[in-house]
Structure 1
Amino acid sequence: MLTLHTKIPSADIIAAQLVLPYELREKCRLRATLDTGEDVAVFTVRGTVLRDGDLLTGEDKRVIKVVAALEPTYKITCADAHTLLRCAFHLGNRHTQAQVGDGYLRIRADAVLKEMLAGLGATVAEEKAAFEPESGAYGGGHGHHHEGPLAPIPLRQKIHRPGDPA
C-alpha cells in the first residue's frame, strides 16, 4: 500500500488524485482510495489539514494531488454586509466552521443552522461544493510548508476505514 507522508510545494507529474471531503482532510491517520483505485495510507501531524491542491508523496516518490470533494453545504448570502456579518458572528459563537468567500459564507449542511440563518435575514442555498473553511486564528495560513515527513511513519500499522470488516 502506498504511504503518503510528505507535503511538497510543486511537481511536474501528478500520478493520481486523492479526493476527500473536509472531514477526512482533517484526520491525521487515514486509509483512502485514489482516483486510480489504489489504496493509500496518509500520515500527518495532529492538527494538519490537507487543502485542495496540496501535493503529497512517499517513499516511491509518486506525487498525489489532494482534491476537495463536493459535499452538502449551505451558501449563505445577505442583502447587505451588516446582515452577513451578523450571520458570521452567530456561526462563530456556535464554533461552526465556515468558509469565507467574496460576499458569502459557506458551512456544512445543518438544518438547525439553516433555520437560524434564515431568521437573521440570510438567503441559505443548498449546494454540493468543495468545503474549505478558515483555519482559525491560531491555525496558521495556507502557505505554511513542512520540510520532510508530516508525521512519524509507522513501520507496520493497519489503517481501518469505516465499513471495513472487523
Structure 2
Amino acid sequence: MTTAIKTARIYHDHHHDPAHAQVSLDYDGRFLRRKMLATDDGESFLVDLAHTKSLDHGGVLVLEDGREIEIIAAPEELLEISGDNLLHLAWHIGNRHTPCQIETDRLLIQRDHVIRDMLLKLGAEIQEVVEPFTPEGGAYGHGRTHGHAH
C-alpha cells in the first residue's frame, strides 16, 4: 500500500491551535519554495509554495488536509560576539550584508572565518556556540538580507 505524500502550499507567521507536528530547520533551510521535508517525528511532506519564502520560527505550513506543521529554528553553529562597542561591531557586520541576530548584550552570526578575523581585529570577544539562529529581517523588518552575490 502506497501512502500519498501530503503537500503544504500555505504558510503563515503564527498558529493558534496546537500544531499537528514540528519541523526543525536551520536558517538556510528556512528559505525555500519547493522542497521535500520531514517532520521531527519522521512524517514526509512536500512544501510547494507559490513564491520563495523565509519561514520564521513559530510560523506554520498548512497541509492540504488543514493540519499545521510548526516551524522550529534548529540549533546551528554560530559565533557569539560581545565587546565594549556592540553598535560598532553590528555596523561592520551589517556593512558586509551578514545576517545577524541582535540582542542586548551580544550578536549572533553564522560561523565565517573571514568575518571572525575582521571582528577580532576590531576588538570583539568571540565564542563558538550552537543554538537556534533567528536574525533580524531585511529592510523594513522583513525579508532576508543578501550578500553581494544575489
Give the TM-score band, short-chain normalised: 0.7 to 0.9
Q: Quick check: 1:31–1:41 contact (8 Å CA) kept in 2?
A: yes
Q: Where does 1:17-166 land on structure 2 (aligned, <5 Å)?
A: 17-79=22-84, 83-138=85-140, 140=142
Q: Which one-letter code corresponds to 1:7 in the other structure?
A: Y
**Shift of residue 61 of structure 1?**
1.1
Partner of 1:13: 18
Alignment RMSD: 1.7
* Secondary structure of 1:67's aligned partner: strand
Return closer, same or farther for 1:103/1:48 CA change in 2, 3 Å cut-off. Answer: same
Q: Which moved more, 1:46-55 or 1:3-12?
A: 3-12
Count of residues paired in the alignment: 138
Give CA deviations for 1:89-134 in whole Å, capped at 9, x if unaligned.
Answer: 1111111111111221110011111111111111111111111111
Q: Quick check: 2:6–2:45 contact (8 Å CA) kept in 1?
A: yes
**Shift of residue 3 of structure 1?**
1.1
Q: Quick check: 1:11–1:63 contact (8 Å CA) kept in 2?
A: no
Q: Quick check: 2:9–2:50 contact (8 Å CA) kept in 1?
A: no
| Off by >4 Å, runs of 4+ in structure 1 | none
- The percentage of aligned residue pairs carrying the same residue is 37
Return closer, same or farther for 1:101/1:119 CA change in 2, 3 Å cut-off. Answer: same
Greater strand share, structure number? 2
Q: Quick check: 1:56–1:65 contact (8 Å CA) kept in 2?
A: yes
Cα distance between partner residues in 2 of 1:116 and 1:46:
35
| Alignment TM-score, normalising by the size of structure 2 | 0.83
Q: Which one-letter code corresponds to 1:2 in the other structure?
A: K
Cα distance between partner residues in 1 of 2:41 and 2:47:
16
* Secondary structure of 2:118's aligned partner: helix
Structure 1: give runs of 5+ residues left out of the alignment: 142-166
Cα distance between partner residues in 2 of 1:44 and 1:123:
41
**Shift of residue 140 of structure 1?**
2.9
Give CA deviations for 1:11-35 in whole Å, capped at 9, x if unaligned.
Answer: 3232111110110101222211111
Give CA deviations for 1:3-57 in whole Å, capped at 9, x if unaligned.
Answer: 1122344232321111101101012222111112111111334352111111221
Structure 2: give runs of 5+ residues left out of the alignment: 144-150
